[in-house]
Amino acid sequence: MTDNGRSAAPANRRDHRECDALTERRRIKVEHGSERDCLSQIIEGSPVPTFVIDENHVVTHWNRACEAIFSVPAATIIGTRRQREIFYGKDRPCLADLIVDQAGEEAYERYYGGKYRKSALISGAYEAEDLFPVFQGGPHWLFFTAAPLFDKNGTIVGAVETLQDVTDRKLAEMAFLASERRFRDLFETMSDSVVILQPQDEGTEFVVADMNPAAEAACLTDRDQMVGKPLRDAASAAPLATAGPVSTETALATLDAVRRVWRTGRPESRFSIQHDEGGKALDCRNTHFIRLPTGEIACLSEDVTERERNQAELEMAASVFRHTVEGIFVTDARGIIVSVNPAFTRITGYDEQEAVGQSPRLLRSGLQGDDFPGILWESLKKEGSWQGQIWNRRKNGEIFLEWATITQVLDAQGRPSRYVAIFNDITDLHRKDEQIKHQAYHDALTGLPNRLLLSKRIEQAIAVARRNGHGIALLFIDLDHFKTINDCFGHDMGDKLLIEVARRLKSCVRDSDTVARLGGDEFIIVIGDTSLPESVSHVCHRILKSLRQHFSEPEVEVVTGSIGISQFPEDGGDAETLLKHADIAMYESKRRSRNTISFFTADMTHKMMRRLELESDLRRSIDHAELEVYYQPKADITAGDIYGMEALLRWRHPIRGMVPPDEFIPLAEEIGMIVPIGEWVLRTACRDAMGLHAAGQRLHLSVNLSMQQFRDPDLVARIAGILAETGLAPEWLELELTETIIMTEATQSIEAFNQIKRLGVALSIDDFGTGYSSLSYLTKLPIDTLKIDRSFIQHCGHDGNSATVVSAIINLAAQLGHSVVAEGVETVAQLAFLRERKCSMIQGYLLGRPVPLSEFTTNLARWGKIVAALASPIA
Ligand SMILES: Nc1nc2c(ncn2[C@@H]2O[C@@H]3COP(=O)(O)O[C@H]4[C@@H](O)[C@H](n5cnc6c(=O)[nH]c(N)nc65)O[C@@H]4COP(=O)(O)O[C@H]3[C@H]2O)c(=O)[nH]1
């Protein structure tokens, strides 16, 4: 019976047959006993682990090599079927079992799927290789061969299985495969293109053996098309040199390199670059040629276009950094300088060694304000950058202004890693800017604020005054007769005088007050706080006093000024109104004898309006025949006769009536009308005098001459013309000039005086005693008469000083050989005083007022009698 119990014969027959079989086996055993012993010995002595099973799958042999590798003694397994458990840890057939069973392919496939094969050497034998995880000492790879054992009849009576521990080989193989896999993966996935070339014909030709996907992509082809292709032409060589088309020259150079590397075994590298039409690098490659141990050539081509571009950009940035005119410094995240450029050194004076490792505080000037760092960091945090002006200090201590842009550089995690500061030195620009601003707001000549800045200052002062509840005052200062000074001494000197005036004005007020120049000789002072103890009029008087001090350039004894004052809030609530009202007040000062101050009053506006109307009316006055000449007699009380008459202008205004000359003559002077009016007076007076002469009244004629008339270059010609025209002989004409005119014009006009004198016309100084005459001029000028100002005459009776002045003038005139006329004689007492002082020429209401010609003519006889009476000694 077999172990699978396959028996169908009846028991008696079976027993009989079994008995026969056993007998037969024993016979065979006996016959082959020695043969088996021999085989057992071979198996036993084999170094190859071997075991044998019989047709019942029972182990019959388990050699020592098996004992060794499985640590299972033969005694414990022979005669059992434990081989299955030993190999597989469970009851499943071994290869030898399948042989004994003569199993079909499906059984081999089932138990050794993919890992078995028929033995090529031994008929009916199978080989397999498998991993045995339950092996002692860990899993083992075994290669095993099982072959059938036959009896003489060719019946399988067992199987022998040899085992080979191939673990080391298998591991090595697996390691190799893994390595191969790894390198293949690398080859397949690497970004550099790799082409493997196989040499042909002793290294004269090469064919493509392999190429990776990067190389396929680079040469826009695929491996199948390229493998086996010889590298004879440029097109085939292209992928080795660069992606895309390549010049023949480059391709041949590449082939040469490949051949050379194959011959010498020395690796070579080539760098190739292709540009677009604009010169931009399109494709840059580093290709390395290496001879492999197999004799193949590996061409590794690395695309360095991006790197080259980055490099080019870096070089450009570095060049910009080195050569830019802007100073640049870079700090680390803590704000420590890590790099500076040459412009930084040029601007700050600190070289790289001195700056690197320092904080930017190295440049701190202390002028930036305490809140600056906070503002800067806040902006860097919020905006990532900051831009603005910074006052810094150079190494030499000099302060400079820079326009800086500070930018934060973030790292990959978005944290600030660097700060880059780029700055320009804008100190000069700033200075120029300041200069331009200064020029826009300041008067070029005196450096004082101009009208523009003045308006701002006034508005500011008003705002402060409103807040603090105090007042401000505007002083409008106009120099008296500045035009004359300018004309006499020239513009350069006029400018010098204005500069000195500006200096003096500034010295008269507080630093907080504003002194401005509107132009010409007009200055404005803003007194910012009138609540302070010193009154505005005090300041004004100090100014006038300061102006009256001697000026050395030009050499002017006295400069006077007229000051108009307007005040906030009384006279206006804005700069324009206050200025206008101060201007009106200044005109009032001008009108009132100048060298004085006037506070603005509402009435002044009215007067100003009146003045404006007058001005326009005056322009029409000659044409409208509104002007008249009145005459006042002059008497010689010693001779007892009327010897002359003074022509005095009158304006009979159609609505206002008679306008006094004091009111309209300065206006006529101001608006330039005095020259034609004066000419008209002279002509009219000469004609009237001639009329009197013709009527037998041969009187001397005095005519007033204004400053402007005197300056008229055609004056002499005009006088000569009028004399000729009217027929009046020059010796009958006397021109009266005020002392002020004479003193102002004296230096320049001695020639004009002489010319008038040469005409035969006499000259007299009017209002003498009021104008600070320089006595030396009196001796130089061809003067005939001094007219004592009526203010002295009027007071000479009761004011000792006036009496003294009158006496002095009379004596002076006598000494200099001039005649002397006392004007404004109104009383007999005055007359007596004058007569006593031997002053015989008089003019005044005592004798007669200025009257029209007709009246004058009528009165002449009466006046003659009075004078004659006066001439007789007073009882
Ligand atoms: N209170 C008082 N006054 C007396 C007396 N005697 C004469 N007067 C006034 O004194 C002024 C004398 O003229 P003036 O000093 O040249 O002063 C003149 C003169 O400077 C100027 N003026 C008058 N007519 C002319 C003119 O045709 N041309 C120029 N350039 N100026 C003129 O106007 C000024 C004033 O002229 P009037 O008002 O006419 O005033 C005249 C005259 O009326 C007197 O006893 N008592």
Which regions of the chain are under pLDDT 70? 1-36, 134-136, 233-251, 274-282, 532-534, 593, 744-749, 771-774, 872-875
Strands (DSSP E) found in 660-710: 700-704
Q: Based on the number of CB atoms within 10 Å of its own CB, is 757 exposed (0-12), middle (13-18) or buried (19 or more)?
A: middle
Residue bearing the CA closest to ligand 1, atom 31: 704
Tokens representing 400? 């400079």
Confidence at residue 257, expressed as pLDDT on a 0 to 100 scale: 87
State the closest ligand 1 atom to the C-alpha of 826, by its place in the atom list counted from 1.
Answer: 45
823 C-alpha vs ligand 1 centroid, how far in Å? Answer: 9
Atom of ligand 1 nearest to the CA of 736: 16
Q: Whose CA is nearest to atom 4 of ligand 1?
A: 824
Interval between CA 648 and ligand 1 midpoint (Å): 6
Q: What is the C-alpha to C-alpha distance for residues 34 and 116, in angstroms, rounded to an integer?
A: 35
Task: Please give the C-alpha separations between residue 208 and each of 198, 212, 716, 872, in angstroms, as whole numbers.
Answer: 6, 11, 121, 156
3-state SS, residue 117: strand
Q: Is the CB of 824 under 6 A from ligand 1?
A: yes
622 Cα to the center of ligand 1, angstroms:
20
CA of 661 to the centre of ligand 1 (A): 7
Atom number in ligand 1 closest to CA 674: 30
Q: Is 766 in the pocket of ligand 1 (CB under 6 A)?
A: yes
- 176's enclosing H/E stretch is helix 167-189
Q: Give the pLDDT score at 731.
A: 96
Q: Class of the 190-239+246-309 domain?
A: alpha beta
**Residue in 683, 704, 863 to alter for ligand 1 test, most ligand atoms within 8 A of Cβ:** 704
Q: Is the CB of 850 under 6 A from ligand 1?
A: yes
Question: In angstroms, what is the C-alpha Rg of the chain?
Answer: 67
Residue 547 CA, ligand 1 centroid: distance in Å:
29
Pick the closest to residue 96 from 67, 4, 121, 87 (CA basis): 87
650 Cα nearest atom in ligand 1: 24
Buried b (16+ CB within 10 A) or exposed e, 745-755: bbeebeebbeb
pLDDT in tens, 744-775: 666 666 788 889 999 999 999 988 877 666 67
Alpha carbon nearest to ligand 1 atom 6, residue: 844
CATH 3.30.70.270 holds for 444-600: yes
- Token pair in block for residue 790: 């009526």
How many angstroms separate the alpha carbon of residue 807 from the centre of ligand 1?
22
Q: How far is the CA of 764 from the centre of ligand 1 (A)?
A: 14
Tokens read off for 545: 């006093």
Residue nearest to atom 44 of ligand 1 (CA): 824
Token pair in block for residue 772: 């600070």
User: Quick check: CB of 681 below 6 Å from ligand 1?
Assistant: yes
Cβ density class 554-592: b for 16+ within 10 Å, e for less? bebeebebbbbbbbbeebbeebeebbbbbbbbbbbbbbe
Q: From the alpha carbon of 669, which atom of ligand 1 is closest?
A: 30
> Ligand 1 centre and the CA of 660: distance in Å?
9
For residue 588, report the distance from its CA to the centre of ligand 1, in Å: 20
Q: What are phi and psi of 37, to 5 degrees?
A: -60, -40
Q: Is 845 in the pocket of ligand 1 (CB under 6 A)?
A: yes
CA of residue 416 to ligand 1 center, whole Å: 91
Protein residue with least CA distance to atom 32, ligand 1:
704
* Number of the ligand 1 atom closest to the C-alpha atom of 648: 24
pLDDT at 650: 95
**Predicted pLDDT at 280:** 65
The answer to whether the CB of 769 is under 6 A from ligand 1 is no
State the distance from the centre of ligand 1 to the C-alpha of 634, rounded, in angstroms.
13
Residue 675 CA to ligand 1 centre (angstroms): 18
Q: Which residues contact 627 (CB under 8 A, 6 or more apart)?
A: 621, 649, 650, 651, 652, 677, 680, 681
- Ligand 1 pocket: which of 632, 648, 764, 787 to mutate (most atoms within 8 A of CB): 648
Nearest to 769 by CA among 753, 746, 786: 786
In this prediction the pTM is 0.46
Tokens of residue 14, six digits: 């079976």
Give the distance (Å) from ligand 1 centre to CA of residue 776.
27
Question: Based on the number of CB atoms within 10 Å of its own CB, is 260 exposed (0-12), middle (13-18) or buried (19 or more)?
Answer: middle
| Residue 678, ligand 1, Cβ within 6 A | yes
How far is ligand 1, taken at its centre, from the CA of residue 819, in Å? Answer: 19
- Centre of ligand 1 from the C-alpha of residue 650, in Å: 10
The rounded distance, in Å, linking the Cα atoms of 732 and 688 is 12
- Per-residue pLDDT, 227: 84
Cα 696 to ligand 1 centre (Å): 26
Gap from CA of 781 to ligand 1 centroid (Å): 24
* Residues listed for the chain: 875
Q: Find out whether the beta carbon of 706 lies less than 6 Å from any atom of ligand 1.
A: yes
The arrangement of secondary structure in 332-431, i.e. its CATH architecture, is 2-Layer Sandwich (3.30)
Ligand 1 contact, 688 CB (< 6 A): no
Query: Is 348 exposed, middle or buried, given 0-12, 13-18 or 19+ CB atoms closer than 10 A?
Result: buried
For the Cβ of 571 lying below 6 angstroms from any atom of ligand 1, the answer is no
| Nearest to 730, CA basis, from 697, 767, 755, 765 | 755
The answer to whether 376 and 404 have CB atoms below 8 angstroms apart is no
**Does residue 632's CB lie within 6 angstroms of at least one atom of ligand 1?**
yes
- What's the pLDDT at 600? 92
pLDDT of residue 5: 36
* 222-233 pLDDT per residue, tens: 788 888 888 775
**Which regions of the chain carry the CATH code 3.30.450.20?**
29-171, 190-239+246-309, 332-431
Alpha carbon of 396 to ligand 1 centroid (Å): 74
Q: Does the beta carbon of 649 lie inside 6 Å of ligand 1? A: yes
Q: Is 331 exposed, middle or buried (0-12, 13-18, 19+ CB in 10 A)?
A: buried
612 C-alpha to center of ligand 1: Å? 23
Give the pLDDT score at 9: 41
Going by alpha carbons, the residue nearest to atom 1 of ligand 1 is 824
CATH number for the domain whose boundaries are 29-171:
3.30.450.20
Cβ–ligand 1 contact at 844 (below 6 Å): yes
- CATH 3.20.20.450 maps onto the chain at 614-773+841-868
- The atom number, within ligand 1, closest to the CA of 787 reads 15
Under 8 Å between Cβ of 845 and 806: no
704 lines ligand 1 (CB under 6 A): yes
Among protein residues, the one whose CA lies closest to atom 21 of ligand 1: 661
Query: Six-digit token pair at 750?
Result: 């001695």
Q: How far is the CA of 656 from the centre of ligand 1 (A)?
A: 20
Residue minimizing CA distance to atom 23 of ligand 1: 648
d(CA 516, CA 476): 10
Q: How far is the CA of 831 from the centre of ligand 1 (A)?
A: 19
Q: Is 661 in the pocket of ligand 1 (CB under 6 A)?
A: yes
Residue 666 Cβ contacting ligand 1 at under 6 Å = no
The alpha carbon of 567 and the centre of ligand 1 are apart by a number of angstroms equal to 36
Are the C-beta atoms of 642 and 698 separated by less than 8 Å? Answer: no
CA atoms of 148 and 139, how far apart (whole Å): 27
CB 719, CB 747: distance < 8 Å: no
- Enter the tokens of residue 119: 């033995």
Q: Is 767 in the pocket of ligand 1 (CB under 6 A)?
A: yes
CATH architecture of structural domain 614-773+841-868:
Alpha-Beta Barrel (3.20)
Is the Cα dihedral 605, 608, 612, 617 positive or negative?
positive
